[in-house]
Structure 1
Amino acid sequence: MQRRHFLAALPLCSAPWVHAQNKSLTPLKFTLDFRVTSQTAPFFLALQNGYYREEGLDVSLDVGSGSVASITRIASGAYQLGLGDISSLIEFNAQNAGTPRVQAVYQYYNRAPFVIIGRKDRGITSDFLSLKGKKVAAAAVESTRRAWPMVARNKHLPADLFSWSTTEFSARDNVMVRGDVDAATYFHDSAVSLFARIKPEELSILHYTDAGVQLYGNAILASSALIAEKPQLVAAFLRATNRAIVECIANPAAAIAAVRQREPILDEKTELARWAITTQYIAAADTKSHGLGDFSKRLLEQQVDSVVQTFALKTMPSADALFNSSMLPPKSVRMLKA
């Protein structure tokens, strides 16, 4: 069959995203906070299932180098959207007064998954005081490390209770397994790789939330220029992403299949365990009342106050300047089924 005859014979009722290819797509660059894992599976599901294309978007997803670095990538104009830490955004906006260059538009982690994980054979328990005099591994610029002074203040502990051992993300598990350090900072869901090498019962997990540190974690961030000039693109991106988040929570197998399509080397069992933990932080606390993606202004203002005090910042950003919720999908599609 000649090519033109073959094309003419194609069925007209193809998938929606195929039709989207026939119209011009708007390119958007999105930076992840870290490497590809199931923590960010919804973005890959939305990409691979054509949800972004249905919204008229040609989205590229790039790996990141930490939830703090995402903010500078967006502020510089290298990326229009990304996943980054709210506390770090507060600090960034306070240090760069004036019109904000980056704003949160969708709260991904409803609570920050900040933990310190320690070896029980080094005397570390669920009590933060057990970290006294220990060596704790963390990357140089990492949100869990940055938030430690908030825990220290809440627990009336000295900020130098232990010593930091600056370690690249990729080496963190290794130094824990070898015993070079006594503990390490993690996003809770990032620690699944460690649990595969050290039995969980041999480890103590110290949750920042247990110290009364109630923080919003990583959020979808957008450049203020994009928000001002083309808010409809941000809204379209959020519709597609929210659709994928809801689907991934309802069907974890689909979430893992999507992320393994991008990174086939990932272990299915490990990523399912990781996504199960991630879901606890995405669909946590406030989401039962106001749905996925939204935030409590009162809680965000408390977080701003805590960050400003902890880092002795001279400017206190307003909650409205930090978070723009005007482009969120309707609440009806952001509510999870019981």
Structure 2
Amino acid sequence: MQRRQFLHSCLASSVAASGLAASAVHAQGLTPLRFTLDFRVTSQTSPFFLALSKGYYKDEGLDVSIDVGSGSVASITRVASGAYDLGLGDISSLIEFHAQNPDTPVQALYQYYNRAPFVIIGRKDRGISTDFQSLKGKRVAAAAVESTRRSWPMAARALKTSPELFEWVTTDFSARDNVMVRGDVDAATYFHDSAVSLFARVPEQELAVLEYQKAGLHLYGNAILAGKLVQEKPEAARAFVRASNRALRETLANPDAALAAMRAREPILNLDVERQRWAITRRYLSTAETREVGLGGVQPAVLGRQIDEVAAVFNLARKPAPERLFNTAFLPPMAERQVKA
């Protein structure tokens, strides 16, 4: 009898505590938002954890939760389904999604990666150099649904070479470094900043990094996306972008606090490795273009060319209008989006 009363008392206390926590959030007037990353927690997305740890989202009246992702396409579908309010997803993938789902509410609100960090990294001992033609006849590892792999036909088009220049070897993200180290393949696709895991196992001087942007392909990468939130709670969407932009500017100036916030979320991460990763990431976030259009912004002509390129390469039945794809109304003022060179 006493045990039953004890359990009942504990359950009542737990329910009461949950109710108090929910009431506290409600009393503070915070709007709950769910944000999905494109992949796991690393320094690539550390500014979002800085905004969370420093209370920038709360300052904007938001109660934000951040979850890991499983790729750009998954982020887009998560947001489109309403399971998440916002996400980090690839612009080229969003163009395809719009072509296939013309009524989708999903739009880009803030261009996080001003340039997509798409690279193929090859082993020099297999004859691979920074010349893309050195990949001819080679075996290149990539996950089945992965942005760098899916964008290769556009890079091949820019290079005026065949998309069948090399052979694809489908492998899981987690096995990519292993097949490279063992020599099962000659090269592999990466987000440039994700390759630090490979650099930790193979000396960089033994590897050749082939950057898509150096092939003359100028693609916007992952952006902050929102779906029904834009229509239903536009001020919440604007507040999320504003707080995230604030944290990104601070991280670009000095990444220490953001790296600490990231590590608080994932204690097993190696700070030296993550600092190296961030040094690569920032090159794709803050570019010559962002000094003209500001962080988060895009040039309509560049976006238009990307839409044309994706439509041509993937034989899309329709092309989304740039203004339908990217909603600039949610960007903070230009003065708040400028960074030093």
Q: TM-score, normalised by structure 2?
A: 0.91
Q: Does 1:63 align with 2:63?
A: no
Residue aligning to 2:125? 121
Identify the match of residue 328 of structure 1 among 324, 327, 331: 331
Residue aligning to 2:264? 261
Residue aligning to 2:289? 286
Contact 2:40 2:69 (C-alpha < 8 Å) held by counterparts = yes
Residue aligning to 2:182? 178
Give the secondary-structure state (helix, strand or coil) at the position aligned to 1:35. Answer: coil
Tell me the C-alpha RMSD between the 2 structures.
Answer: 1.2
Deviations 1:46-65 (CA, angstroms, capped at 9, x unpaired):
01111111111111110000
Give the secondary-structure state (helix, strand or coil) at the position aligned to 1:190. Answer: helix
Residue aligning to 2:81? 76
Contact 1:25 1:53 (C-alpha < 8 Å) held by counterparts = yes
Identify the match of residue 111 of structure 1 among 94, 108, 115: 115
Shift in Å, 1:76: 1.1
Give the secondary-structure state (helix, strand or coil) at the position aligned to 2:320. Answer: coil
Query: How much identity, in percent, do the aligned residues show?
Result: 65
Aligned residue type for 2:282: T
Residue aligning to 2:37? 32
Deviates more, 1:165-174 or 1:40-49: 165-174
The 1-side partners of 2:105 and 2:196 are apart by 34
Q: Does 1:197 align with 2:222?
A: no
Residue aligning to 2:305? 302
Aligned residue type for 1:31: T
Shift in Å, 1:25: 1.3
Shift in Å, 1:100: 3.0
Residue aligning to 1:87? 92
Deviations 1:83-121 (CA, angstroms, capped at 9, x unpaired):
000000001101112x33210000000000000000001
Q: TM-score, normalised by structure 1?
A: 0.92
The 1-side partners of 2:331 and 2:27 are apart by 27
Deviations 1:61-87 (CA, angstroms, capped at 9, x unpaired):
100001221111111111110000000
Q: 1:174 to 1:335 in 2, by over 3 A?
A: same
Deviates more, 1:213-222 or 1:128-137: 128-137
Deviations 1:177-203 (CA, angstroms, capped at 9, x unpaired):
111111000000000111011000000
Give the secondary-structure state (helix, strand or coil) at the position aligned to 2:174. Answer: helix
Shift in Å, 1:287: 0.7
Q: Does 1:165 align with 2:175?
A: no
Q: Does 1:211 align with 2:215?
A: yes
Would you tell me which structure has more helix in proportion to its own residues?
2
Q: How many matched pairs?
A: 318
Shift in Å, 1:163: 1.1
Consecutive unaligned residues of structure 1, counting only runs of 5 or more, are: 1-18
Residue aligning to 1:13? none
Contact 2:80 2:104 (C-alpha < 8 Å) held by counterparts = no
Deviations 1:167-226 (CA, angstroms, capped at 9, x unpaired):
111111111111111100000000011101100000000000111110000000000x11
Identify the match of residue 270 of structure 1 among 269, 273, 293: 273
